[in-house]
Amino acid sequence: MCSLALFPPPLPSGQTTLCESNNELLRCAVLLEQMSCSYIYQLMSFYINSPLSCAVVVPKWLSVSSGCTLALLRWFSSFHGSLFPHLTVTIHLIIRCFDMLAEFSQVLNWSDCVVRAFAWHPHTDKFAVALLDDSIKIYNPKSATTPTLKHRLQRSVAAVQWKPLCATALAVACQNCLLVWHVDPCSLSTRPSSGCAQVLSHPGHSPITSIAWSPSGSLLVSASPMDTAMMVWDVASESGVPLQRVGGGGVTFLSWSPDGSHVLASTPSALFRVWETRMWTCERWPCVKGRCQSGCWSPDGSRLLFTVQGETVIYALTFTDTPGSQAAAVVADLSETTFNTPDGDIIVGGEIQSLAWDPTGERLAVLLKGDPQAADRPAIIAVFKTRTNPIFELLPCGFVQGEPGTEPRLMQFHPNFQHGALLTVCWSSGRITHMPFYFLSAGVPHFGLSGSPSLPRPQERPADFAKQSLFTELMS
Amino acid sequence: MLSAEQSCWFVRKVIFWRAVASIAWAVLLLPPITAVFVIISRFSLLHPIQAVSECLSFLTSASAIFSFILLCGVIIMVGFLNLEYYTVIPTIACSKIALLGQLLHPRQFVNSLGHCIMGIIVAWCCAITVGGRYETIADPCAQGDGSPQMCLNEYHLILLLAGAFVGFSHSLLGVIYNMNYVSFHTVQQYKYLRFKGSLSLVLKCSATQALYSVRNYIVVYFFLGYIPKAWICKTLNLHLNSSVHPLDSIAGLLDLSLLYHLWISASFLLFTWHLTLLLFRVFVTEVYSFPVQSSFTEDAHQCLPTVLTDKQPMILKFLALLDLALLSQHSPSRRSEVFSLSQPGGHPHNWNAISKECLSLLADLTQRLIAYHDTVATNGRAKSLSTGSERKTSSESSVTSGTEDLMSPRPTLLMKTPASVFARSIVGCPQSPLTAPFTPDLDSPFASPALRRLTAPMDQCSPWFGTVQSPHIMRRVPKLWSTSTDSQVNGSPLASPASVPSPKQEPSKPSLLAQFLQNRKEQLPEASSQALFADSQAHIWALEGLSYLVQSSFSEDQFGVVQTALPSILSCMLGLQEAVDRHFKLPHASSKPVRSASSMGDSTHKTLRFALRATLKTSIYRITTTFGNHLNAVKMSAEHRKRLQQFLEYKE
């Protein structure tokens, strides 16, 4: 079992992680934008500048004002609670919605985070970023325009996700409803009208904290901690089927396995379910300590890694065709470990905020919560190498650190990075960085075209495919 | 008339037994529902314990058991009507006239009458159950001279009539909201879970619908209540009790307890019926797994490739397509059977049959869309609707005629476009080209003689059937009466699209009534778009099945059987994509239907075109992401290549 003690120590202050190459994490002491893009694949050469500017401006007044409003509401409710009990309920609901979103979001400190949600498109190099002011921007390196999506119902965005096998549709989990935007990639408009958005809502199904598209692009599931039912939407016909089971009280986090066969649904209590998507039946998995905080699937959908609130370990569950009682195995221990650095001792470890597994199944990124009050316990991303043969195990790779004074809030792997894995991290400063991990895949069976594992150099890949033609005989 | 269907093994062996099982469950659920109804109708807050004991003693009484047997009979009857009237392709009335025609159709009349009678029976049982003043139709009363005689108990009568009214309105609403339409869910669930999930919705629907029905009933009774009252009195030789208020007065109807009992009885009636309908839907739409191939030749007609090509019954085709979509998605072992070669000979018969059928379905839809678009574009009727200024002139239509009607006969069996609710009644003759969705129902009393004449070619017994007519003659009928392409009869490739009017009638102008009807015709612009896609669930499954099979063929197809069909699959999908894109540019095509929140009628058909568009795109993307640049080696036209390139670059 892997533990943090095996990791190389964190970087000294002022240095940032750049990328992984030749099996080690490279670092540099200069700021990222001054780096030449020599190693960096041209995709990563665009850093987002516009959200940065708004990032500096927006949180100042918005977070302060929203904090004040919340405090005012709380005070008001405590003061007037006895006089107007019906008012209290609504005010409590408002506060609870907001707290709930912050509590169950995969983003660390969601409420004051500049980037509230982030999503790579599953097939192309474009991504959507939801900002603190509830607008969503779409960045595409091949297009000069960055559309900004705004809608009057688009409030408190907790998650965004692009529809697979589609170029246009983006699902947005909002406070009261689910929006599905249709953004034409060829359109030159920078402000798509709200007519481009489908609104999906179901009574009692709010706030929505998590959404997941089926990998085949046909269905969308959404979850709300206030609703015991999980909704399965047929987006085109705007009809939803509630799937309800006794126990748990709400659904907080959803994750659809990449092969489409299972859906992880965690509840606010110490219980999570794994749905099988053919007939929509579920297995119950009670946890001992707390609720399931985060989870991720291996690329072939056979293995689930998850973390439990209040524990500092990563569990693994294996799904095989033969049903039977099994228990989750601990695969990594992330309890607090002290590292000696030139700047003093740093304590790394503790509770886990979120997990991300790259699409090749070789790198696992773990966002550790840290302690915002203590300077020597920063939030940090620990990256593991994963190996499935002969047995499944996690090996240490290293820590990913940003500029001094910033902490990682949200991370996601690029869905189809050709040369290994590409981790995108959203920092507390509002900066979004892309961190490549260059490696050769060790022969994990891949989906789609990336089926040949042993290519000499990633750069020669397209040429190889051009030479070999699949079609030996053409129809006349 | 049902001979064609009864001969089908599937209806006999599967659908029938599924219906029987659903009815059996409905009957089994009846005792608890009745018990709840008894408790709710008799409960009183002031004497709860006494009320409960009264309920218990009533439930074991002979009259309760008798009325329960009657209710069982009603449920069985309702289940039978469900089986008789269900359809998997909704009937969409394109105009108000067509809707009226549907409502006045003789078959519908029988249905309404049946529901009225069953409503009266249920209401009688309710009257027995509620007891008290509702129990009997005649009460002894004392007239002014003190002599005892039998008087009419109006409370009993009002309850019975309410049952008839609710039954009747249920049957009418069934036509308007397409309640006989059985839709398939995208999310597959086990029967019990599906039933449980919809139960609360059914309860809510029944209660609200009962509320509206009772409201309407009270209004009707207030104005017309004296007619049945007098009639009953006359027939049964009863007297009116002058000492009590008549109920068809404001004071009489403002009796809260009466209203409550009316509402609760109507809710009970509708709930049991809706529950039967729900169970029927759940059972009949259950997935049926067809074998892909069989080692015994006598079972060959039950295998998926054969079943897919069957035209009738539609439910069989739909379930086969659903099974195809599921197997292509979920089961590698069955997929391998699809990709396998026949043992002597080495031909991919399974794949050929499946792909051919799916492609012909899609090609049919493409043709239908193109024809519709041409009709709308050329004679401008869709425009005249919105602007109201342009009127089609005959010269215009004659100029623009000819092309779509002369469309070359399509080589394969085409699925018929949805005809009417009553499609099953005209299925009888397998030769008959079925009415296009936009043709008014010929059997309806609203079809004028002129109308009948114009659409007369539907009658395949006409001596002119099958003879080649001049395009000039053939042109008119589809122009006037159908906005879609017509269905093609199998095996008669020379027959031009359905309508071949007899030349004698050619010079005769449509009558005034027909013209009036034509003007009223397209009042519901969105409906014609809905009708065009009414059977699109089949196309959606065909698309899914094909695209998943092609996707998995990348790694699973050992003999390369799919490769050979790839160019035709791609060009078919891209052609359909083009047609769908064009269709959605028409006015009203992309407007979203209003969602009806609580009604038992299924509104899935209203959004089928959106679902089809999304599935089509996803299917093309599924193929392009799997094959990537290999598709450049596939031969196709330049235009399709351009479109495919858009998909490869994720720009669609």
- What number is the average pLDDT over the span A388-393? 86
Cross-chain residue pair B650–A121, CB shorter than 8 Å:
yes
Residue B192, pLDDT score? 94
Nearest-5° angle of CA B545, CA B551, CA B554?
Answer: 140
Residue A66, pLDDT score? 52
pLDDT band at B178 (very low <50, low <70, confident <90, very high): confident
**Chain A contact set for B545 (CB, 8 A):** none
CA-based nearest distance A232→chain B, Å:
8
- The share of chain B scoring above pLDDT 70, in percent, equals 75
Backbone φ/ψ region at B220: left (φ over 0), alpha (ψ -120 to 50), beta: alpha
Residue B342, pLDDT score? 87
CA-based nearest distance A98→chain B, Å:
29
SS3 A443: coil
- The share of chain A scoring above pLDDT 90, in percent, equals 47
Residue A2, pLDDT score? 86
Nearest to A236 among B544, B613, B626 (CB): B613
Nearest to B635 among A243, A470, A475 (CB): A475
Residue B446, pLDDT score? 44
Residue A65, pLDDT score? 53
pLDDT band at B18 (very low <50, low <70, confident <90, very high): very high
CA-based nearest distance B452→chain A, Å:
37
B-chain residue closest to A261, CA distance: B330
Residue B514, pLDDT score? 64
Beta-sheet strands, E only, within B557-604: none
Nearest to B188 among A278, A449, A474 (CB): A278
Other C-beta atoms lying within 10 Å of the C-beta of residue B473 = 16
SS3 B306: helix
Residues of A with CB under 8 A from a CB of B: 121, 123-124, 165-168, 185-186, 216-219, 232, 234-239, 241-244, 278-281, 448-449, 451, 465-466, 469-471, 473-476
Greatest mean pLDDT among A426-440, B162-176, B523-537: B162-176
Cross-chain residue pair B651–A186, CB shorter than 8 Å:
yes
Task: Quick: pLDDT tens for B160-172.
Answer: 999 999 999 999 9
d(CA B565, CA B188): 30
Residue B50 in this model has a pLDDT that exceeds 90: no
Nearest-5° angle of CA B431, CA B432, CA B435?
Answer: 150
pLDDT band at B593 (very low <50, low <70, confident <90, very high): confident
CA-based nearest distance B645→chain A, Å:
13
Nearest to B621 among A166, A244, A470 (CB): A166
Maximum CA extent, chain B: 103
Cross-chain residue pair A474–B635, CB shorter than 8 Å:
yes
**Chain B contact set for A259 (CB, 8 A):** none
- What number is the average pLDDT over the span B234-257? 83
Both structure tokens of A4: 């943090």
A-chain residue closest to B552, CA distance: A448
Residue B51, pLDDT score? 83
**Chain A contact set for B628 (CB, 8 A):** 448-449, 465
Residue B463 in this model has a pLDDT that exceeds 50: no
Q: Which of A284, A190, A152, A177 is nearest to A227 (CA)?
A: A177
CA-based nearest distance A277→chain B, Å:
8
Residue B53, pLDDT score? 86
How far from the centroid of its chain's Cα atoms is residue A343's Cα?
Answer: 31
B-chain residue closest to A198, CA distance: B592
Q: Does an H or E element contain A424, and which?
A: strand A420-427
Residue A73, pLDDT score? 54
ipTM of model over 0.85: no
Backbone φ/ψ region at B498: left (φ over 0), alpha (ψ -120 to 50), beta: alpha
Nearest to A165 among B563, B592, B621 (CB): B621
d(CA B64, CA B61): 5
pLDDT band at B274 (very low <50, low <70, confident <90, very high): very high
Residue B3 in this model has a pLDDT that exceeds 80: no
From the number of C-beta atoms within 10 Å of its C-beta (0-12, 13-18, 19+), residue B372 rates as: buried
Residue A85 in this model has a pLDDT that exceeds 80: no
Residue A19, pLDDT score? 84
Which of A426-430, B9-13, B43-47 is least confident? B43-47
Residue A280 in this model has a pLDDT that exceeds 80: yes
Residue B223, pLDDT score? 92
Which of B18-22, B58-62, B397-401 is least confident? B397-401
Residue A79, pLDDT score? 45
**Chain B contact set for A166 (CB, 8 A):** 614, 617-618, 621
pLDDT band at A187 (very low <50, low <70, confident <90, very high): confident
Other C-beta atoms lying within 10 Å of the C-beta of residue A36 = 7
- Please tell me which residue, B377 or A313, carries the higher pLDDT value: A313
B621: contact with A, CB 8 A cutoff: yes
Task: Quick: pLDDT tens for A330-382.
Answer: 999 999 999 988 878 889 999 999 999 999 999 999 999 988 888 888 899 99
B643: contact with A, CB 8 A cutoff: no
Residue B469, pLDDT score? 40
- Please tell me which residue, B393 or B196, carries the higher pLDDT value: B196
SS3 B436: coil
- Please tell me which residue, B477 or A23, carries the higher pLDDT value: A23
A-chain residue closest to B607, CA distance: A237
- What number is the average pLDDT over the span B509-527? 62
Residue B477 in this model has a pLDDT that exceeds 70: no
Which of B9-13, B490-494, B572-576 is least confident? B490-494
Residue B59, pLDDT score? 85
Residue B428 in this model has a pLDDT that exceeds 90: no
pLDDT band at B521 (very low <50, low <70, confident <90, very high): low
Residue B244, pLDDT score? 77
SS3 A158: coil
Residue A223 in this model has a pLDDT that exceeds 80: yes
B594: contact with A, CB 8 A cutoff: no
Cross-chain residue pair B634–A471, CB shorter than 8 Å:
yes
Residue A93, pLDDT score? 57
Average pLDDT, chain B: 79
Cross-chain residue pair A235–B614, CB shorter than 8 Å:
yes
Residue A271 in this model has a pLDDT that exceeds 70: yes
**Chain B contact set for A239 (CB, 8 A):** 604, 607
Task: Quick: pLDDT tens for A302-325.
Answer: 999 999 999 999 999 988 776 655
d(CA A203, CA B644): 41
Task: Quick: pLDDT tens for B327-345.
Answer: 999 999 999 999 999 888 8
Residue A446, pLDDT score? 44
**Chain A contact set for B626 (CB, 8 A):** 448-449
Test the A interface: residue of B562, B605, B617, B624 with most A CBs within 10 Å: B617
d(CA B74, CA A280): 35
- What number is the average pLDDT over the span B9-16? 90
CA-based nearest distance A311→chain B, Å:
35
Cross-chain residue pair A236–B611, CB shorter than 8 Å:
yes
- Please tell me which residue, B378 or B352, carries the higher pLDDT value: B352
Residue A17, pLDDT score? 85
Identify residue A113 by its one-letter amino acid code. Answer: C
- What number is the average pLDDT over the span B69-92? 93
Residue B429 in this model has a pLDDT that exceeds 80: no
Phi/psi of residue A27, each to 5°? -135, 165
d(CA A306, CA B148): 84
Residue B141, pLDDT score? 81
Residue B513, pLDDT score? 63
The answer for B 157-176 residues in CB contact with A (under 8 A) is none
The answer for B 196-235 residues in CB contact with A (under 8 A) is 197
Average pLDDT, chain A: 80
Residue B435 in this model has a pLDDT that exceeds 80: no
Nearest to A236 among B614, B622, B630 (CB): B614
Cross-chain residue pair A474–B595, CB shorter than 8 Å:
no
Cross-chain residue pair B650–A185, CB shorter than 8 Å:
yes
Residue B145, pLDDT score? 67
Residue A353, pLDDT score? 93
CA-based nearest distance B64→chain A, Å:
36
Both structure tokens of A329: 């195995």
Which of B245-249, B351-355, B570-574 is least confident? B245-249
Both structure tokens of B350: 């399974």
Identify residue B152 by its one-letter amino acid code. Answer: L
Cross-chain residue pair B592–A238, CB shorter than 8 Å:
yes
Residues found in chain B: 652
Task: Quick: pLDDT tens for A158-179.
Answer: 999 999 999 999 999 999 999 9
**Chain B contact set for A222 (CB, 8 A):** none
CA-based nearest distance B140→chain A, Å:
53
Residue B523, pLDDT score? 59
- What number is the average pLDDT over the span A432-450? 68
pTM of the model: 0.81
d(CA A242, CA A205): 10
